Amino acid sequence: MEQTLVIIKPDGVQRGLVGDIIGRLERRGLKIVALELRQMDRSLAERHYGEHQGKPFYAGLVDYIVSGPVVTMVLEGPRAVEATRATIGATRPVESAPGTIRGDLGLEVGRNLIHGSDSTESAAREVALFFGGERVHSGWRRDVDRWVLEIVS
Ligand code: IDP
Ligand code: MG
């Protein structure tokens, strides 16, 4: 089963949208296998956003992500990376479809509420960066799964 890393960014936490955002992902059928409120430090932010180093928005992005607590989680499900990115919406909230998290709740790219891994390779790297192997509880049995998934392992 695929895993993905989600971060509810400081604006999502400050605006009291944690429940709404997690609820949307949870209702879609994705299973929470790790969840934590934490304050990211600069070194973690720089490692997480390493691919953007050198871009004009990089310094502002790091300042933004360390500006307050974030909620990090690992979600599991079939094609979880793609399902989560689709639920999140496009990077620029004004270009995100209504019904998506960014399209319903955001306006500006520098306050776009949430991060989701963009590939299974990024997901593996990010899950390890934020939770390590031992803090992900991927084994728990969710009794409703036979009504969400066609084949339950
Ligand atoms: P993504 O979060 O949709 O994967 P990326 O292109 O990976 O988007 O960019 C990472 C984050 O950097 C965005 O979510 C956003 O917070 C920020 N960002 C991207 N482009 C800009 C920009 O042009 N101005 C300000 N911030 C940006
Ligand atoms: Mg990205």
Would you kindly state where each structural domain of the chain is located, as residue ranges?
Answer: 2-148
**DSSP three-state, residue 142:** coil
Catalytic pick from 48, 52, 115, 137? Answer: 115
Q: Does ligand 1 have an atom closer than 6 angstroms to the CB of 61? A: yes
In terms of Cα–Cα distance, which of 12, 129, 113 is closest to 74? 129
Q: Given this model, what pLDDT does residue 35 score?
A: 98
* Confidence label for 20 from pLDDT (cuts 50, 70 and 90): very high
**Ligand 1, atom 25, residue with closest C-alpha:** 110
**Nearest atom, ligand 1, residue 111 CA:** 16
Q: Given this model, what pLDDT does residue 133 score?
A: 80
Q: Is the separation of the CB atoms in 67 and 61 below 8 Å?
A: no
Ligand showing the shortest atom-to-Cα distance for residue 115: 1
Q: Tens digits of per-residue pLDDT, 79-124?
A: 999 999 999 999 999 999 999 999 999 999 999 999 999 999 999 9
Q: Does ligand 1 have an atom closer than 6 angstroms to the CB of 57? A: yes
pTM value? 0.98
Q: Does ligand 1 have an atom closer than 6 angstroms to the CB of 109? A: yes
* Confidence label for 151 from pLDDT (cuts 50, 70 and 90): confident
Q: In 10 A of CB 64, how many CB atoms? A: 17
Cα separation values, 16 from 1, 21, 59, 65, 73, Å = 31, 10, 25, 16, 17
Amino acid at 83: A
Q: Given this model, what pLDDT does residue 56 score?
A: 98
Which CATH code is given to the segment(s) 2-148? 3.30.70.141
